[in-house]
Chains A and B, each alone.
Chain A
Amino acid sequence: MIVSDNDQCDEGRQLPAGLPAEAVLRRLLLPCGEELLLVAMPQEHDGDGQPPHGTPLLAEAATAWVAAATPAATVISVPLYGCHVVWAPGRAAVIGAPSRLEALATAVTDFADREADLRHLEQRCAELLESLDRDAPHAFAVDERTFDQRDALAARFREAVAVRGRLARAAPAVHAPPVHPPTLASQLGERLRDRTRLAERHEFAVDRAELAERLYEACGQRAAEFGIARRQQGLEWAIVVLLVIQTTLLIVDLLARGAAT
């Protein structure tokens, strides 16, 4: 899931203040289009389950750095045996043994992409819901004035279907069962998923997208029915006119014959 486009990946940038010199900062472009600034901080552990002496300070510095960019967002801090990960939308820091940093970075990036993707979909759902109240009456009745809005309604229907499609594609990753026996990366991914309530958020987004899809589907049906009815009405009038002409001609013909006899 990590973007491998080197043009987009800016490693070794100048480190923010408070982070150790051996830390590596990477700018990653996630597949969903969002950027992630990731700091990897190598830290050797004794292997007894106790974090090294400096880890709390490092975690504190990492938390401050992660929180600085997104003060409104909730910063998620996940201590695991032998490593510590801090994440917020757009920024993440991993502290761990050098041999495990790459696996941790991959897990965080994987998660960050899923979360960002879901966040964008939630935003699109919210925009759909904004027009929901306004468009709801069109699901029952359409007149000449609203019929002119059918292109906009169709666009929102396409948007709802597109969002549902994206949510369906995201579902397997969001609802994946925990890996067993676990790996460090799987444990980290599951903790981050739990802490950000990814599964619940996905379900709510699906519900909202489904609601929008149903509404705009109904709007589309009403608009189509209205269009068909309007065409039928035109045809009916044409038939009436033709019948009148035919009747007139018939009368003229009869009168002409009567005059001749």
Chain B
Amino acid sequence: MDDSARLPRVAIVGGGPGGLFTAWHLERMMATPVSLTILEASHRLGGKVCTASFAAAPVTYEAGAAELYDYSPVDDDPLRQLVRHLGLPTVSIGGAAVFVAGRPIANLDDLASACGENARHALMSFDTRARSAMTAGEFYESGADHAADAAAGGPFVGLLDGITCADTRRYVDVMIHSDLATEAEETNCGYGLQNYLMNDPAYMRLYCIAGGNEQLMRAIAVRLAAAVRLGTAVTEVRDGPDGAIRLRLQTQGQATHEDFDVVILALPMDALERVRFVGASLADALRRHVEHHAHPAHYLRVSVLLDRPAPPLPGDDAYLMLDAFGGTCLYVESARDPCAAHGVLGWLLGGAAAVEMAGLPDEAVVAAVLASLPVPLAACREQVLETRVHRWTGAVSALPGGWTRLPADRRHRPSPAHPKLFVVGDYLYDSTLNGVLDSAEHVAGWVAAEQMPERLAAPAASVGKTTEASP
């Protein structure tokens, strides 16, 4: 008998960060071997962490996640540790300038001289309220069960409305809009505060991986023993025989089905909504899960290749904020490489503007973002070699955890009647890569601790129709 037939079979649906992190943790936590399979609908791994290349020159750009968050100023940062463990070089990035009406506001002095002392006082007052509402420790623990109360507090717009000065309100809106990826009335105070306080280095710092953030996904993927099946979409989930879970798979137009002992759905919310769940209790549980967590937020990434390096931003900044599109972030990606022969500019549009622009043809989107260039970078309009647009509509959550955050176990196992079906996602924590790593670790630990001993005690002979090699 083939060894793999006796091994517990685990399917991870989704080859994005959630799927890869889960596989990474599972392979390290399992006390006994398992047959682990990653099913990915597209033809690449990495999901939203996507480093693409231009055609006109061998230059890469970030088409998805622009940066990683470093929580190490506050406490242990598992993602930072993982990056270090994988030996990936990193580059710290930062940016202080917010361009409002064409004028850079990079500090309190700029705010006071542009908008008056009243604006400075209003910002200090809001900042004090924000810090009081969420300390660095609470910020770090957001997503944990005991931090559930911090996420409450009603819509974030209520907190912003407390800013008495219109100029300061505009400044704060522009500063956080692209990170929030939604409008202030669509999210809660907890998530809104996180996106404001992330600008404070005492709460968090930003970094990226030299050579592209997708290096992280690739580094994990090559170290996994799991079988990876690209171009394999899961279209249906239902109960299988002997407590197994049956997945209906679509590969190159052919539909098949396979049974697994454990299934972990590591899909973004929009992809999860497309999966059909068969069986009254399963369908109902997943419907409630989706209803609770479906608060779509939107990104649009526009990248432009220049025929020469873009002018460096003052203060060694790697990005700046523009008031165009309700607040957008403009990264000077080529600034990360001192030897760059070409310039790369990357816009990150968020929220309603991202949805609106996503409906336009690429040429119109590119024209609009180039028109938004501030004076210090205006000359770049004449240096464009190639442009790319990536639409990430509904790819993240505007309200991670929902209006009321459920306990972590409940978040990750939506149907108690189906104890072997788990979900992993950034939408369960804080819409960050760090959050999805926490989510993956939670599920991997759970599966390793509870599911496998039980499964090993009574192996189901009927499980496992495919012939994938065991790890």
Chain A interfacial positions (CB closer than 8 Å to B) = 47-50, 78-82, 99-100, 103, 177-178, 180-187, 191
B459 at the interface (CB under 8 A from A): no
B108 at the interface (CB under 8 A from A): yes
The answer on a CB contact under 8 Å between A178 and B315 is no
The answer on a CB contact under 8 Å between B201 and A178 is yes
| Assembly CA distance A78 to B106 (angstroms) | 15
Q: Given the complex, which residues of A lie within 8 Å of B104, measured CB to CB?
A: 47-49, 81-82
Partner of A187, one of B106, B127, B200: B106
The answer on a CB contact under 8 Å between B375 and A50 is yes
The answer on a CB contact under 8 Å between A182 and B96 is yes
Q: Which residue of A lies closest to B97 (CB)?
A: A81
Q: Closest 10 interchain pairs by CB?
A: A49-B104, A180-B200, A48-B375, A184-B109, A178-B201, A81-B106, A79-B314, A50-B375, A182-B107, A81-B104
Q: Given the complex, which residues of A lie within 8 Å of B375, measured CB to CB?
A: 48-50
The answer on a CB contact under 8 Å between B315 and A183 is no
| Assembly CA distance A178 to B114 (angstroms) | 23
| Assembly CA distance A103 to B376 (angstroms) | 24
| Assembly CA distance A182 to B108 (angstroms) | 6
B337 at the interface (CB under 8 A from A): no
- Can you identify 29 A-B contacts, CB atoms within 8 angstroms? A47-B113, A47-B114, A48-B102, A49-B103, A49-B314, A49-B374, A79-B314, A79-B315, A80-B314, A80-B315, A81-B96, A81-B97, A82-B104, A82-B106, A99-B113, A100-B109, A103-B109, A178-B201, A180-B199, A180-B200, A181-B124, A182-B108, A183-B107, A183-B109, A184-B106, A184-B107, A184-B108, A184-B109, A191-B316
B210 at the interface (CB under 8 A from A): no
B249 at the interface (CB under 8 A from A): no
B99 at the interface (CB under 8 A from A): yes
The answer on a CB contact under 8 Å between B106 and A183 is no
| Assembly CA distance A187 to B113 (angstroms) | 16
Q: Given the complex, which residues of B lie within 8 Å of A184, measured CB to CB?
A: 106-110
Q: Which residue of A lies closest to B378 (CB)?
A: A50
The answer on a CB contact under 8 Å between B200 and A186 is no
Q: Which residue of B lies closest to A194 (CB)?
A: B316
Q: Which chain B residues (116-135) contact chain A, with CB distance < 8 Å?
A: 123-124, 127
Q: Which residue of A lies closest to B105 (CB)?
A: A81
B202 at the interface (CB under 8 A from A): yes
Q: Which residue of A lies closest to B106 (CB)?
A: A81
| Assembly CA distance A79 to B314 (angstroms) | 5
Contact string against A for B residues 168-212, beta-carbon threshold 8 Å, 1 for contact and 0 otherwise: 000000000000000000000000000000011110000000000
Chain B interfacial positions (CB closer than 8 Å to A) = 73, 96-97, 99, 102-104, 106-110, 113-114, 123-124, 127, 199-202, 312, 314-316, 374-376
The answer on a CB contact under 8 Å between B201 and A47 is no
The answer on a CB contact under 8 Å between B96 and A47 is no
| Assembly CA distance A81 to B109 (angstroms) | 11
Q: Given the complex, which residues of B lie within 8 Å of A185, measured CB to CB?
A: 109
Other contacts beyond A50-B376, A185-B109: 4, CB < 8 A: A47-B114, A180-B201, A182-B96, A183-B107
Q: Which residue of A lies closest to B199 (CB)?
A: A180
The answer on a CB contact under 8 Å between B96 and A187 is yes
The answer on a CB contact under 8 Å between A78 and B110 is no
Q: Given the complex, which residues of B lie within 8 Å of A79, measured CB to CB?
A: 312, 314-315
The answer on a CB contact under 8 Å between A49 and B97 is yes
Q: Given the complex, which residues of B lie within 8 Å of A182, measured CB to CB?
A: 96, 106-108
Partner of B315, one of A100, A103, A187: A187
Smallest beta-carbon distance B209→chain A, Å: 20
The answer on a CB contact under 8 Å between A181 and B315 is no
A186 in contact with B315 given A50-B375, A180-B199 (CB within 8 Å): no
Smallest beta-carbon distance B86→chain A, Å: 24
Residue from A80, A81, A191 with most neighbouring chain B CB atoms (10 Å)? A81
Partner of B107, one of A48, A49, A50, A181: A181
| Assembly CA distance A186 to B124 (angstroms) | 15
| Assembly CA distance A78 to B317 (angstroms) | 11
Smallest beta-carbon distance A72→chain B, Å: 23
The answer on a CB contact under 8 Å between A181 and B123 is yes
Q: Which residue of A lies closest to B312 (CB)?
A: A79
Q: Which residue of B lies closest to A47 (CB)?
A: B103
Smallest beta-carbon distance B184→chain A, Å: 19
Smallest beta-carbon distance A236→chain B, Å: 60
| Assembly CA distance A103 to B110 (angstroms) | 13
A48 in contact with B374 given A80-B314, A100-B109, A181-B123 (CB within 8 Å): yes
Partner of A177, one of B202, B315, B374: B202
Partner of A81, one of B110, B123, B127: B110
A80 in contact with B103 given A49-B375, A180-B202, A181-B124 (CB within 8 Å): no
| Assembly CA distance A80 to B316 (angstroms) | 8
The answer on a CB contact under 8 Å between B202 and A178 is yes
Q: Given the complex, which residues of A lie within 8 Å of B110, measured CB to CB?
A: 81-82, 184
Q: Which residue of A lies closest to B315 (CB)?
A: A80
Smallest beta-carbon distance B312→chain A, Å: 8
Q: Which residue of A lies closest to B126 (CB)?
A: A181
